[in-house]
Structure formats: C-alpha cells, structure tokens
Structure 1
Amino acid sequence: MTDKPIARLAVIGLGMATKPHLEALTELRGRVAVSGVFNRTRAKAEAVQETYGFPLFDSLDAIAADPGTDGVIIATPPNQRADIVAQMAGAGKHILMEKPVERSLAAAQDIVGVCEAAGVTLGIVFQHRFRAGARRLRALINDGALGDLALVRAEIPWWRGQDYYDIPGRGTYARDGGGVLISQAIHVLDLMLSLTGPARAVQALTGTTALHRMEAEDFATAGIEFASGALGSVVATTATYPGEVERLVLDGTKATAVLTGGQLRVTWRDGRTEELGETAGTGGGADPMAFPCDWHRDLIEQFAGAITTGASPRIPGREALRVHALIDAMVRSGADGQLADVEVV
C-alpha cells in the first residue's frame, strides 16, 4: 500500500451501475481516494454517503472547480453524458466512464474528440477484460499459442424481466441508444474484439421477441468477417429465462479456447489442456449486478495509476469506438437486411 492515494476521483451518477464502483472504491481505500459523490437526486447521494462514508458534492460545478479532484467516474445514463464530459474535460479532469461511450457511434466519436482536444485521459469501463480467464487468454494470443485465428463464436443468452424494461428509458433509443446490443452484449463484444482484432463486415438480424414490450431489440444475431480473415458469429439476447452464462469460443490452428463467463478452457491439438478462472456470476440473470467488484477494482486502480503517471488506461476511449462501430454495423444490417461494412475508427 502506498503512503498516499495515487489519485482522487469523484463519482457522478449513483444509479444501479454504480454499486460495483462504490464497492471497489471501498476496497481501494488508501490507494484511490474518493473526493466526493454527486447525484441529481440529493436523497440518493445522501444514502450513498451514509452507506460508504464518501463526501458529497452539491453540484457538477463544484466538482469541476475542485483542485483536489484528479478525475471523475461518470456512471449516468448515456443520454446525460455529453454535457458532463465537456464540462469535466474543460476543467482538466480525467474521465473514467461507464459503457457505452454514447448512444451512437457518431456521438461516441464526438466524446472521444472532446477529451482528446482537452488533453485529458478517457477510459471506458469494460470490466470483462479484467477477469483472470480473459487476461490469460490475451496472454496466450499474444504468445501465438492458439495459432492463426480461424473461427469466433460469441453467445450471450441473458435474461431481463419486463420489470427491467418498465423503468422509464430502459431499452429506448432516446436514453440508452438501443437494446441488448448496446446495453448488455457490448461487454462481450468489446472483449471479443480485444482478442480478435477489428471486424470488417457483418450480416445481421435484429428484433424484439414476444417476451418483452420495449422499443429496441432484445435479440440480435450476426455473421462477422474479421479484418484478419477469420469468420465468426454472434447471438445476443435478454429473452433467455432465467439467463445463462455468456460464452466466447476462439478456434485457432493450434488450439481452441472457450471462455465461459470468467472460466477459460484451452484444448491444444497435441492433447494438452488448461483450465483457470473464477466461477462468479456475470449479471446475465434477473439481477444485472450479480457479480463481484474485483474486475471494477482492478480497472479503477489501473486507471488511477495511468492518470498519475501519464500512461494509457487499459481501455482508452478511442479503442472503445471499435465495439461501437461493430454495433452500428449490426444495427444497420438488421434494419435493411444487407451486408454492412464496419467503419474503421
């Protein structure tokens, strides 16, 4: 443990997605300090203060003007992000933001541009990359242990009850930017692209099943051509009751890797196998927050260290645009039934 915190962060937005952040920041006491929390509903902020003991900010202006705040964690709904990012970046505050970057690829590009122009660090919360199994798989790919990648399969069979979508704004284009793709599957799709490299083109089918009343899609499937030449498929839904663990399969010329939630199994063609990882929940069932805070803890600590040393965060904003480009192409293809190119970002 260091003699003093490596960074002081404020938390903006205290909705459901903030819980693992608050738990992680509690575990990081002494290494990362919380300068304060802010929520537009004061009662919510006071409840968080009572539970966690973090100080309160009365306004966004107070955060922007606070010389003791190095950066902010923004966990508001996507439609509330642009103005907050502009204000904090303009004040020189580094930004760690919940996914998605924004509701559309174009809006996400604007946010990345604002942060780059202001010279502040922008990191995005894709905590699935911090699981032990995902980290080991990344190392194996870097070492060439799987050989050349040939086939990729991503399966996200999650469940959300109608009560989830009955909350105003959930599953709408105006607040969330869409349905299962941008709100849930984005985590696995980002992890996939971090391992496979960018996608080149997709052919998709999207729609809303009879199991939900919502504006956007609760089901999406697509065939993908990757820039490497590998082929792949994605199936994502929030209509599989009671929800199953997501699964990512990478078939290489030397081995096949299967990442089921946080558990990795690698089978080499010479008969060797390797298994590791955790069995913790992943939020695929009725409780979206049914997972530990460990991944958020490691992500936040790495971000705090990065803004202190000037290093890059593990998941910089510009890199996060790749998954937005893939989702954008899937939505376009699902709408017109045509093969869609994935924008190079």
Structure 2
Amino acid sequence: MKAALIGLGMVAETHVRALHDATGVTLSGVLSRDPARARAFADRVAPIIGSVPHVFDDLPALAASDVDFAILCTPPNARADIVPALARAGKPILMEKPVERTTDAATRIVELCEAAGVPLAIVFQHRMRQASRDLADLLSTGRLGPIAAVDIAVPWWRDQSYYDAPGRGTYARDGGGVLISQAIHTLDLALTYTGPVARVQAMARTTRLHAMEAEDFVTAGLDFASGAVGSLTASTASRPGDAESITLHCTQGSARLASGQLTLTWADGTTETLGDAAGTGGGADPMAFTHAWHRAVIEDFAAALRDDCPVACTGREALRVHALIDAIVRSSARGCAVEVRP
C-alpha cells in the first residue's frame, strides 16, 4: 500500500523510519505548506527509504493521486482544511494526536469522516507496546480482579526552547499545553484499562519554569464510572524528566506500567516484570523513543484497510480522551468538580 505524509514537523521522520520498516506499506510522497521545506525533507529522508519520495505540489494533487491513505502530522489547527479535502477524495486518514484543539472541533472531524465513509485512525502508539498489551490481557482475563484505585503520572521535562517554536503551547495552534500535547498518550492508554472517568476535580497552571500560554502542570482527582478512584499528575516542568506511568491497584494485585515495562505485585507479595525498558521522550529530547510503535500503528491501519477490520484506535474512540481533557480544564477554570461529558 502507498502512504503519503502530510506535515513535516518533528514527528515526520519517525513516520518515515516506521514506513521503511513496515510490512506491505511504502512512503509514496510528502506534502508541506512550504514547497522548499518539502523538497529538503524528501532529499534528507531519501537515504532512509532508498529513494526520493514524490513531493506533491498541493493538497488537490495528493487527493487526486493513487496513494491508499494519508498520514496527517500537521499541528491540530491545520486539520479543518485538510481533512474535508481528503474525505471528499475518499482517502483514509491516519492522524497524529490530538484530533483537534477542542472536543467540539474534534467531534466535527470525526463526524465528517464517518459521514463520508472514510476510515479515520489516531496514532496512540503507546497502546502498541508489548507490556501495554500484556496488561490488557491480564485485565480482560480477570487475573488482577476489579480496579480499585489508579495513579497516572507524566513527570516530563521540556526546555524553554521547545516552547519558543512559533505557536507551541498556545491554544490557537495546539489547543493547550501538557494535557493535549503530552499527557494525552498516557490518558488514552489508561482509559483503555479503566473505562471512562465520570467526574474530575483539577488544577491546571503554568509554572515559572516556562514562558508559555497554556498549562505545563496539572493535578487532578478522578472518579471513574466503574467506582474506582484515581489521581493524575502531568507536567513538562519536572526536570530532568522521567517516564510516564500508569499504576492500577486491583483486588488481586497491583500493576505498574512504565518505560515499556510492566511490574506486577500480587496480593501474596510475589512480583514479576514483563517487557523491556525503552525511552518514551519524557526528557529534554522529545524524540528519544523508538519508531517501532509507530510502525505497529501503521501496519495495523494498513491491515484494517486491506482486510476491512477494526483499527486499533478510531477517531470516535479518541473522543473519550478529548472529553476527559476538556473536563480537567473546565474543572480548573471553575475551581470545582465537574462531570465528564459523554
């Protein structure tokens, strides 16, 4: 299958490497708002894939081409113009998180693709780690028992230079700060285990460590629809940065997922560790992670298109984490607990 890459920012080369290693998928072409940047990018990645990818002149040219799907890596504020054109052309879309800057805008994109019958999947690559899948299996078989309490931590660090990039950490381009740009991955993964959050009480702030518009520190208490309770701490002001983690305290034991490893502490005191540790981009270098998880996302999407089966994460499913982020922000602004809107 042929894929086209739209948006050539920080994560684009990760997708190039993932496409090179993927089975049954190739990079057919690239598109950027800046033609010169696109040509330079194509030349730079040619040694990775063994050839210079085609540089599309504009979006209509890509939409009219024979590419099988598009991988959308633009900032979220650029999606409103691109997605309709791809949907009209019947091009399936694999989109980097978030879907859009707000839950309402994200919902409009999802509904547009659904109405056009165009598959839309979101790149939540943390779901593809083996340890993440091992934890899902343990929960589905009931070995850990029901979840009683949840601890979610994203103690990341970003230098000020990261936020000096035009628009980064603003509501106009990104839709917010640490929640929608960094913690969204961990929150999405946590929701696959816990089910929905019903109610939150939160505080979101910008610390003196960053000059930026949106939040770089969040703490929240979570009431889950299942009856479990939980806590969230998310930050890009936690120097030097550490791995994000999800800890589930269940009736038969506790499970801690961090750095690609799953540590199990059973009720009888025995412990076991599954998976291999790996970088996740929590420190000063946001790209310090393997492209293998992106490869798995791409292969999953290509297989879903080829075999007409469900993808790992649909746009509709991604709205759950958008709704939670929206509730956390509303709770902080109001200074009280709020319900998470379905």
Same fold at TM > 0.5? yes
Contact 1:9 1:36 in 2 (8 A): yes
Whichever residue aligns with residue 219 of structure 1, its letter is F
Contact 1:151 1:252 in 2 (8 A): yes
Please report how far the alpha carbon of residue 311 of structure 1 lies from its aligned counterpart in structure 2 after TM superposition.
Answer: 1.2
Contact 1:48 1:54 in 2 (8 A): no
1:61 aligns with 2:60: yes
1:90-101 matches, within 5 Å, as 90-101=88-99
Which segments of structure 1 move beyond 6 Å, counting only runs of 4 or more?
none
1:15 aligns with 2:19: no
Please report how far the alpha carbon of residue 92 of structure 1 lies from its aligned counterpart in structure 2 after TM superposition.
Answer: 0.2
Whichever residue aligns with residue 235 of structure 1, its letter is T
Contact 2:16 2:27 in 1 (8 A): no
Contact 1:203 1:222 in 2 (8 A): yes
1:181-200 matches, within 5 Å, as 181-200=179-198
Please report how far the alpha carbon of residue 274 of structure 1 lies from its aligned counterpart in structure 2 after TM superposition.
Answer: 2.4
Query: What is the match of residue 256 of structure 2?
Result: 258
Query: What is the match of residue 167 of structure 2?
Result: 169
Whichever residue aligns with residue 280 of structure 1, its letter is A
SS of 2:11 mapped into structure 1? helix
Contact 1:146 1:252 in 2 (8 A): yes
**Aligned equivalents of 1:74 and 1:282: distance in 2?**
21
1:35 aligns with 2:28: yes
**Aligned equivalents of 1:85 and 1:301: distance in 2?**
21
Whichever residue aligns with residue 221 of structure 2, its letter is G
Query: What is the match of residue 302 of structure 2?
Result: 304
Percent sequence identity is 57
**Aligned equivalents of 1:323 and 1:275: distance in 2?**
28
Please report how far the alpha carbon of residue 273 of structure 1 lies from its aligned counterpart in structure 2 after TM superposition.
Answer: 2.6
Query: What is the match of residue 152 of structure 2?
Result: 154
1:115 aligns with 2:108: no
Contact 1:180 1:236 in 2 (8 A): yes
**Aligned equivalents of 2:290 and 2:39: distance in 1?**
24
**Aligned equivalents of 2:13 and 2:2: distance in 1?**
18
Whichever residue aligns with residue 40 of structure 1, its letter is R
Query: What is the match of residue 281 of structure 1?
Result: 279
Query: What is the match of residue 18 of structure 2?
Result: 24
Contact 2:5 2:73 in 1 (8 A): yes
SS of 2:55 mapped into structure 1? coil
**Aligned equivalents of 1:15 and 1:338: distance in 2?**
38
SS of 2:322 mapped into structure 1? helix
Please report how far the alpha carbon of residue 57 of structure 1 lies from its aligned counterpart in structure 2 after TM superposition.
Answer: 1.2
**Aligned equivalents of 1:19 and 1:275: distance in 2?**
32
**Aligned equivalents of 2:40 and 2:321: distance in 1?**
35
**Aligned equivalents of 1:63 and 1:42: distance in 2?**
14
**Aligned equivalents of 2:248 and 2:295: distance in 1?**
27
1:340 aligns with 2:338: yes
Whichever residue aligns with residue 64 of structure 2, its letter is A
Please report how far the alpha carbon of residue 228 of structure 1 lies from its aligned counterpart in structure 2 after TM superposition.
Answer: 0.6
**Aligned equivalents of 1:243 and 1:125: distance in 2?**
23
Query: What is the match of residue 243 of structure 1?
Result: 241
Contact 1:103 1:175 in 2 (8 A): yes
Please report how far the alpha carbon of residue 129 of structure 1 lies from its aligned counterpart in structure 2 after TM superposition.
Answer: 0.6
Please report how far the alpha carbon of residue 272 of structure 1 lies from its aligned counterpart in structure 2 after TM superposition.
Answer: 3.6
SS of 2:240 mapped into structure 1? coil
**Aligned equivalents of 2:154 and 2:130: distance in 1?**
19
Alpha carbon RMSD of aligned pairs, Å?
A: 1.0
1:136 aligns with 2:134: yes
TM-score w.r.t. structure 2 length? 0.96
Contact 1:205 1:222 in 2 (8 A): yes
CA deviations 1:49-87 (Å, max 9, x no partner) are 222332221111011111x21110000000001110111
**Aligned equivalents of 1:256 and 1:111: distance in 2?**
38
**Aligned equivalents of 1:89 and 1:237: distance in 2?**
35
Query: What is the match of residue 231 of structure 1?
Result: 229
How many aligned residue pairs are there? 336
Query: What is the match of residue 316 of structure 1?
Result: 314
**Aligned equivalents of 1:342 and 1:192: distance in 2?**
16
**Aligned equivalents of 1:326 and 1:274: distance in 2?**
32
Whichever residue aligns with residue 45 of structure 1, its letter is A
**Aligned equivalents of 1:291 and 1:278: distance in 2?**
13
SS of 1:16 mapped into structure 2? coil
Aligned with 1:49 (options 19, 42, 62): 42
Structure 1, unpaired ranges of 5+: 1-6
